[in-house]
Structure 1
């Protein structure tokens, strides 16, 4: 299954400047995803990180992995939709994060995320980010699902 930007925006609540997924190349609901983030010089974070040598912050690479995870985790679950305003999907843990090389303007970040455990309250994932086939970052992620009170 592939998704364009409209399909992505239908499934998660993030919007500019925090929407960090541009396209989904492959998705197996409840199992895994391959998503793309095109890194442009026009990203708002580059003006301060760093003006003389723009580098995508590692924390945003991790956030992109978490957004990708949200896209595939509940695709077949009618009771949970991360885009629903009554449901919050929080990144609550990051383990073993490693950053191998900088991500710079012009790079295409490929995000490969695999579910290790998905439940109605806590989900665990293994994520890798690559550019041109080279590993740039990896981490274990934990996300929590919460129903928001009115």
Structure 2
């Protein structure tokens, strides 16, 4: 899935879109995607000016956006203007390595369970062979109309 397909599936836009490409999706099981991290990211201006590091919450957001793509694929649907996808819980989040400009954050997310619009995922983000972030994510898909 290239960026044009991702933009059709996710409502996020600059500066909050955290998935650049989907490498693979195993239907209703897992997704592999990545975020190319550049010095041009607006958050680097303040986090931190002398030592730019991607904020941990944005690494979790990248995992959640990949998870949303997997959820929509598992449901065989595209989001509409009346559907929102929220974080419901983040458990066992661990940050193991800083993510810096020039890194490619590889996002691997596994769908553990889905029922009644509630999704449970296990996700990890790596840079090369090094684990940068891991967490269990619970997300809820809701109609707002």
Shared fold per TM-score greater than 0.5: yes
Q: 1:76 Cα deviation (Å)?
A: 4.8
Q: Does 1:129 align with 2:130?
A: no
2:46 alignment counterpart:
48
How many angstroms apart in 2 are the aligned matches of 1:135 and 1:89? 26
TM-score (ref. length: structure 1): 0.93
Q: What is the RMSD of the two structures over their aligned residues, measured on CA atoms?
A: 1.1
* Residue deviations 1:111-148 (CA, integer Å, cap 9, x gap): 00000012232100000000011101100000011101
3-state SS, counterpart of residue 16 of structure 1: coil
TM-score (ref. length: structure 2): 0.96
Q: Does 1:111 align with 2:107?
A: yes
* Residue deviations 1:63-91 (CA, integer Å, cap 9, x gap): 0000001101121534x433x11001001
Cα gap change, 1:20 to 1:87, in 2 (>3 Å): same
Q: Does 1:10 align with 2:8?
A: yes
How many angstroms apart in 2 are the aligned matches of 1:51 and 1:112? 29
Query: Are the equivalent residues in 2 in contact too, given 1:46–1:56 (CA < 8 A)?
Result: yes
3-state SS, counterpart of residue 101 of structure 1: coil
2:75 alignment counterpart:
77
* Residue deviations 1:94-126 (CA, integer Å, cap 9, x gap): 000000010000000000000001223210000
How many angstroms apart in 2 are the aligned matches of 1:45 and 1:55? 9
Aligned positions, number: 145
2:55 alignment counterpart:
57
Which sections of structure 2, spanning at least 5 residues, go unmatched? none
